[in-house]
Amino acid sequence: MRKRLLGLLGLTPLSNLMAADGAVAPYAYEIFTIPVFDGFELTVTNSMIMLWLVCLFIVLMVRLAVRKAEMVPGRGQSIVEMIVEGVEGLIEPIVGKKLTRPTFWLLASCFLVILINNWSGLLPGVGTIGIQTTYADGKEHLDYWFRPANADVNTTLALAIIAQSAWLFYVLKFAGLKTLLMDLFGNKADIKDVGKGVFYMLTPIFAFVGIIEVVSIAFRTVSLPFRLFGNIFGGENLLVNMMGLTGVDWLGWILGVPFYFLELLVGLIQALVFTILVAVYIGLICNHESEEGHAH
């Protein structure tokens, strides 16, 4: 087994970015372990390192920007205010006025953390700095230290678990269990419009639809993380493959450049999609303002 430390992107042979099977590995590599207590070790993966670094960066940037919130904002504070107002404008029509402020921290944090993590994959050094390992079968493999956190299902799943838990909390707090159950299983037909017979016939159908709805809600814990993971992991693969297309290591970056712009866009869109979907899930049960408005 041969090990060597590699430099930044461009200095690294592109073949090294790929896993032993030729593609970017669909999982994060274990870089080192921290013994916590006897018989238990905390495994640290490259996506964990990246997530912590990105989180640290976000916290530092935000603290630097909003060191002391001033009535007349400086440049940093203006950027944070722009994000705040942007997210607020985005979620208010979805979750409703009543829930905008209570859910703001969740949705704004989701957006910012996902966005920066998505874009972190485009930084030089991410996926290219690590230890070159030659396995027993003779294949060379780079155990890189930094992997975009959202290219690891553990991260996106953690985000989805937080989002789903928050969804349940806000639904129970602001809509209540009765509203939730009525929304899921209740008969939504108007007895005056359809008549008693049809109304009672529809009741079991609505109850069955409710079961499907529960499955659909439960499945959000799968769809949310895999959508985000798929896009970011796919982006990583796309970049690596495009860069390897020329066959010349030092020239590989040329084909990658247009796709960097694409990935910037994908990163933003996926952050927006995740945030909007979580907002929509909350708004579907809690926000009946527009319906009431129509009714009146």
Partner 1 sequence: MIELFQIASEVTGTAVEAQSGGIVDAIATKFHIDAGKLISQLLAILVVFTILRVFAWNPVLKLLDERKQKIEDGLQYAEEMRTKLADAEKQQQETIRESALEAKRITEEAQKSAKETIESSMSEAQLKSEELVARTRESLELERKQMLTEVKEHVSRLVVTTAGKVLDKQMSDSEKAAYSEKAAEELASK
Binding mask 209-238 for partner 1 (x = CB under 8 A): --------------------xx--xx--xx
Distance, in Å, from the CA atom of 145 to the CA atom of 134, rounded to the nearest integer, reads 16
55 touches partner 1 by CB under 8 A = yes
Strands 30-37 and 40-45: antiparallel
169 touches partner 1 by CB under 8 A = no
Do 199 and 189 meet the contact criterion of CB atoms below 8 Å apart? Answer: yes
Angle 290-292-294 (CA atoms, 0-180°, nearest 5)? 70
Distance, in Å, from the CA atom of 33 to the CA atom of 221, rounded to the nearest integer, reads 28
90 touches partner 1 by CB under 8 A = no
Angle 201-207-211 (CA atoms, 0-180°, nearest 5)? 150
Distance, in Å, from the CA atom of 77 to the CA atom of 134, rounded to the nearest integer, reads 48
Residue closer to partner 1 (CB basis): 154 or 246: 154
47 touches partner 1 by CB under 8 A = yes
Strands 130-134 and 140-144: antiparallel
Ramachandran angles phi, psi of 45, nearest 5°: -100, 170
Considering only residues 234 through 273, tell me which ones interact with partner 1, judged by CB under 8 A. 234, 237-238, 241
Residue closer to partner 1 (CB basis): 56 or 214: 56
Tell which one of 14, 94, 126, 149 touches partner 1 (CB under 8 A). Answer: 149
80 touches partner 1 by CB under 8 A = yes
Stretch that binds partner 1, among 5-13, 60-68, 173-181, 211-219 (CB under 8 A): 60-68
Tell which one of 11, 84, 191, 205 touches partner 1 (CB under 8 A). Answer: 84
76 touches partner 1 by CB under 8 A = no
Residue closer to partner 1 (CB basis): 64 or 177: 64
Q: Exposed, middle or buried, 76 (CB in 10 Å: 0-12/13-18/19+)?
A: middle
Stretch that binds partner 1, among 77-85, 126-134, 208-216, 272-280 (CB under 8 A): 77-85
Listed as own residue / partner, the contacts of 23-26 with beta carbons closer than 8 Å and 24 or more positions apart are 23/237, 23/240, 24/127, 24/151, 24/233, 24/236, 24/237, 24/240, 26/233
Contact set with partner 1 (CB under 8 A): 21-24, 26-28, 42-45, 47-48, 51-52, 55, 58-59, 62-63, 65-66, 69-71, 77, 80-81, 84-85, 101, 104-106, 108-109, 112-113, 149, 152-155, 157-159, 161-162, 229-230, 233-234, 237-238, 241
